[in-house]
Structure 1
Amino acid sequence: MLNPSTHSSEYPDSYYAASLKYTQRYPRLEGQRSTQVCVIGGGFSGVNTALELAEKGYQVTLLEAYQIGWGASGRNGGQIIRGVGHGTEQFRQAIGQEGIDAIDEMGFEANEIIKARVKRYTIDCDLKMGYCDLATKPRHLKDFEDTKSWLDSRNYPYETRLLSKSEMSQVVGSDAYIGGMIDMGSGHLHPLNLICAEAAAAAEQGVQIYEQSAVTDIQQGDTCTIKTQHGEIKADRLVICGNAYVAGLNNTLEGQILPAGSYVIATEPLSEQLCQQLLPQDMAVCDQRVDLDYYRLSADKRLLFGGLCTYSGRDPNSIVNALRPNMDKVFPYLKDIKIEYQWGGMIGIGANRLPQIGRLRPNVYFAQAYAGHGVNVTHVAARLIAEHIDGDSQRMEVFEKVKHLRFPGGRRFRSPLLAIGMSYHRLKDIF
């Protein structure tokens, strides 16, 4: 039996869905249409690609299988963290120093795109800057020192600050951490309100959006034909943004991405005094373990506590029972606080943890595999694709130089095989 907190044709019963302010709905695709660009996927990648192209004057049609923001874009932890998520040094042979520098700059740009979009379209999504990485081991502190030195060398324009164990109470009310690093260029927001507002902006710019319009067949060619159960689109260009839900759309993309489960619980609203004890600067925070914890306060003073990344393909029977012990370990004084929401979903992970952005053929683009850093990286991926389609930039081609491995075992066996592999990294966290 599927867990209704993760599998449903409607939004899961999350805090985000309960506090959604942008409730526009869009029709189902009926009949035949033609367009310059067809985008598959109503998450951050797809919606922002459509919006970027519409702002450039293109005729765009977007197809979403369920509802705008139904997948990871509307279920995630709501943290916007600078960078593409993982180090780029490992790709030096493929992209060189110039490519490394370009991707690093794009990682900074990603957060700026979100801030600019929120400002331009007056989006009410509780955007607040302020983030802190949390250390549980001495090697994490060394990583933070290296990261701060690197950011300083790149003239990063926002405050960064290393914290000792004695200073951690400035950021988080827990004895679980031995230090941290503040980054005021990163922060947090309400992701479902952001994506739904961006879709509304795209529609205002002329994008034709269709919900409940799952793609059943794609025929690639000089003109692409995209079929749904009730309609058909003919497009000069196609952009596939299924990410963790790309299964069945394209075998190549499906083989290069692993859907991994990630989960969140939300407490009842907390007193101002308790919020000050938990997160006195109202920052988003995240530790550095493989089975990481990440958490923040919502605008109405709930603790949103996430983590428990799973690679087995199976959801926990109870997200609360799985995540509550982690929260109580960090904050034992919350043991009597009620949990009012629990939800989860799939994020997309590639074998090398670099976002996959490129083309299957000259007129068929894709973006996927954000490995848990999708809120911001999706926005820069969309910009790169739109720039390339418009012919005014080749920045996307840096990502195309990196080759991506297929996960072994096919759809049935690749999740269990990766779950075994991840056990090794969990053991490294312990010792």
Structure 2
Amino acid sequence: MNLLFANDRRGEYPRSWYAATAAPLAPFAPLQGSARADVCIVGGGYTGLSAALHLAQRGLSVVLLEAHRVGFGASGRNGGQVGSGQRLEQDELERIAGREAARHLWDLGEEAKALVQGLIADHAMPCSFAHGIVHACRKPSEVAHARAYAEKLQRDYGYDKVQPLDREALHAILPSEAYCGGDIDRGAGHLHPLNFAIGLAQAAAAAGARLHEGSTVTGIEEGPRARVLTEGGHVEADHVILAANGYLGGLMPLVAARVMPINNFIVATEPLGPRVAEVLRENVAVADTRFVVNYWRLSEDNRLLFGGGESYGYRFPDIVKTVRGPMLEVYPGLTDVKIDHAWGGTLAITMSRLPCFLRVAPNILSASGYSGHGVALATLAGKVMAEAVAGQAERFDLLASLPTPRFPGGAALRWPMLVLAMTWFGMRDRLGI
């Protein structure tokens, strides 16, 4: 079974609140016959679209192939949070990579946030950027850690935008008894993820990139001039960029052994009206400290967009049932609130929770596995791969040097091993350990 088609109708966005409120975008024609390009990009999410835009701006000829619609995958379905740094905290990165590399990675994270905001402004994209992400802690030990980490970021990295929150300060923003404190990062933020993807597509097309939707890649023939095969034709290109993330499937086993697709789910309530004060009292996004993270924010029309729960097979479960439970643990007063939209999507994680950058062949680059931290990092990854194709590979090589080990058993056994691990961590969440 192919994840590209397991839960979605061919060539359609999922029936999400994002799709219901998306900016209009006429379909791009499927690839028919043969095409020639300097670079062929596989995947029309943030990574691929950003790469297409930055390559086209450099004057290279670009063909991008997307199996469904641009922004169809995780890029158009996620929680819309644009976080700081990397998926791992800086002290852990210092331990893994050393202080100098950790500093470079922090700076890349800051550049990624600025890149997202700059692209929105420069291309008049149909979305806005709202500042503020709250990290909500369930235990006093986590609150103490949040305070210490805010102090470290200010002391060692000059980042003063994280404000620790005690119970009272947190509840002034987030009135839920499920949490006892945390912090708020005023330098992070949130956006409408599908409209950001659409904005990237419009900008890439305007810069001269050729985008083809409904063009599933069926194989790649490696060589000095690679051939990328689709159901309707093929592209010959000097370089190939793999940007399919959790939907890459078996197209490139070297990547698949290191990157695991998992499913995550979001619901959108009916508009809350004056009851919005029961949920959030500022226009910020929230993520909590559970291993299987709960995350949420308000929509522009004052719905609660709440994400929670994961699955590891091909088929999605009952999404409303999966997400309503965690939502009511946080907001038990919302039992009578209707769910208007429910959707799932496939993201990708790595063993290390660091993104997986690989040079699969001398002229084939891959970036994926953003582990839930991809809105900013995937956008930057596209720019970094564009640099590498143009001969400036220093930043790509730095990211490719990060440890991204194979999952135990490789691609064949990664799923059952992950299910065992995630079941254990899910149990720890439920027990409050």
Alignment of 1:63-74 (within 5 A): 63-74=65-76
Does structure 1 conserve the Cα–Cα contact (< 8 Å) formed by 2:7 and 2:315?
no
Unaligned segments of structure 1, at least 5 residues: none
2:391 maps to which residue?
Answer: 391
Give 1:400 shift.
1.7
Q: How many angstroms apart in 2 are the aligned matches of 1:343 and 1:426?
A: 21
1:204 maps to which residue?
Answer: 206
Give 1:222 shift.
0.9
Would the alpha carbon gap of residues 259 and 5 (structure 1) be closer, same or farther in structure 2, given more than 3 Å must change? closer
Which shows bigger deviation, 78-87 or 88-97? Answer: 88-97
2:85 maps to which residue?
Answer: 83
Q: How many angstroms apart in 1 are the aligned matches of 2:165 and 2:135?
A: 10
Which of 27, 30, 52 is residue 29 of structure 2 equivalent to? Answer: 27
Which of 107, 110, 120 is residue 109 of structure 2 equivalent to? Answer: 107
Unaligned segments of structure 2, at least 5 residues: none
Q: How many angstroms apart in 2 are the aligned matches of 1:158 and 1:195?
A: 30
Does structure 1 conserve the Cα–Cα contact (< 8 Å) formed by 2:81 and 2:190?
yes
Q: Could you list the per-position Cα deviations for residues 120-158 of structure 1 after superposition, in whole angstroms to 9, with x for gaps in the alignment?
A: 001121321111100001232132123201221245455
1:200 maps to amino acid: Q
Give 1:412 shift.
5.1
1:159 maps to amino acid: K
SS in 2 for 1:202: helix
SS in 1 for 2:347: strand
Q: Could you list the per-position Cα deviations for residues 54-103 of structure 1 after superposition, in whole angstroms to 9, with x for gaps in the alignment?
A: 11211111000111011100011111111221135556587433222111
Would the alpha carbon gap of residues 428 and 334 (structure 1) be closer, same or farther in structure 2, given more than 3 Å must change? closer
1:342 maps to amino acid: A
Does structure 2 conserve the Cα–Cα contact (< 8 Å) formed by 1:159 and 1:183?
yes
Q: Could you list the per-position Cα deviations for residues 241-262 of structure 1 after superposition, in whole angstroms to 9, with x for gaps in the alignment?
A: 1110111211111111111110
Q: Could you list the per-position Cα deviations for residues 170-221 of structure 1 after superposition, in whole angstroms to 9, with x for gaps in the alignment?
A: 2112111100101111111110011011101100000000001011110111
Considering only aligned residues, what root-mean-square deviation do their CA atoms show, in Å?
A: 2.1
Q: How many angstroms apart in 2 are the aligned matches of 1:325 and 1:93?
A: 37
Q: Could you list the per-position Cα deviations for residues 22-78 of structure 1 after superposition, in whole angstroms to 9, with x for gaps in the alignment?
A: 322100001111100111000000000111111121111100011101110001111
Report % sequence identity. Answer: 35
SS in 1 for 2:215: coil
Q: How many angstroms apart in 2 are the aligned matches of 1:336 and 1:379?
A: 39
2:371 maps to which residue?
Answer: 371
Which shows bigger deviation, 301-310 or 150-159? Answer: 150-159
Report whether the alignment pairs 1:401 with 2:405. no
**How many equivalent pairs are there?**
429
Report whether the alignment pairs 1:296 with 2:297. yes
Which of 154, 166, 169 is residue 168 of structure 2 equivalent to? Answer: 166
SS in 1 for 2:382: helix
1:241 maps to which residue?
Answer: 243
Which of 53, 61, 64 is residue 63 of structure 2 equivalent to? Answer: 61
Does structure 2 conserve the Cα–Cα contact (< 8 Å) formed by 1:5 and 1:344?
no
Which shows bigger deviation, 108-117 or 327-336? Answer: 327-336
Alignment of 1:341-360 (within 5 A): 341-360=341-360
1:168 maps to amino acid: L
Give 1:5 shift.
10
Runs of 4+ in structure 1 off by over 6 angstroms are 1-5
Q: How many angstroms apart in 1 are the aligned matches of 2:392 and 2:5?
A: 44
Instruction: State TM-score, norm by structure 1.
Output: 0.94
Q: How many angstroms apart in 1 are the aligned matches of 2:154 and 2:93?
A: 22
Instruction: State TM-score, norm by structure 2.
Output: 0.94
Give 1:164 shift.
0.7
1:421 maps to amino acid: A
Q: How many angstroms apart in 2 are the aligned matches of 1:93 and 1:127?
A: 33
